[in-house]
Amino acid sequence: DTEVTQTPKHLVMGMTNKKSLKCEQHMGHRAMYWYKQKAKKPPELMFVYSYEKLSINESVPSRFSPECPNSSLLNLHLHALQPEDSALYLCASSLTPAANYGYTFGSGTRLTVV
């Protein structure tokens, strides 16, 4: 298995909703990442997990809450989002935190906040 699987592929949520994004990989990668990507822009780093521990939080608002239950799974819990949070949310993983061979990205969750 050489993939990063993200679910759901599309999500529409209201500003008062609570939802979660899920990311899974079975490549034995020990670092996992959440990125946010707006249209025609590069991905922006949100969170980094190294060996299931949060190692980087790029000053992301608390309405985004990451969770890494085990080495294969990464969640992003969403609550009280704003319309400007609408974006493509990408999960990525790398063999080690040093990412000497780059990232493997998932296909993303297209989030629309209404």
Partner 1 sequence: QQQVKQSPQSLIVQKGGISIINCAYENTAFDYFPWYQQFPGKGPALLIAIRPDVSEKKEGRFTISFNKSAKQFSLHIMDSQPGDSATYFCAARKGTGNQFYFGTGTSLTVIP
- Residues that bind partner 1 in the complex, under the rule CB under 8 A: 4, 6, 31, 40-43, 45, 48, 50, 55-56, 90, 92, 94, 97-108, 110
CB of 23 to partner 1, least distance (A): 11
Q: Which is nearer to partner 1, 18 or 101 (CB)?
A: 101
Q: Which is nearer to partner 1, 69 or 102 (CB)?
A: 102
Q: Whose structure tokens read 């529409």?
A: 12
Q: Which is nearer to partner 1, 66 or 97 (CB)?
A: 97
CB of 80 to partner 1, least distance (A): 26
Nearest to 30, CA basis, from 85, 94, 84: 94
CB of 3 to partner 1, least distance (A): 10
* CB burial string 87-114: b at 16+ within 10 A, e below: bbbbbbbbbebeeeeebbbbebbebebe
Q: Which is nearer to partner 1, 42 or 69 (CB)?
A: 42
Q: Whose structure tokens read 């085990």?
A: 70
Taking the C-alpha atoms of residue 111 and residue 87, their distance in angstroms, rounded to an integer, is 5
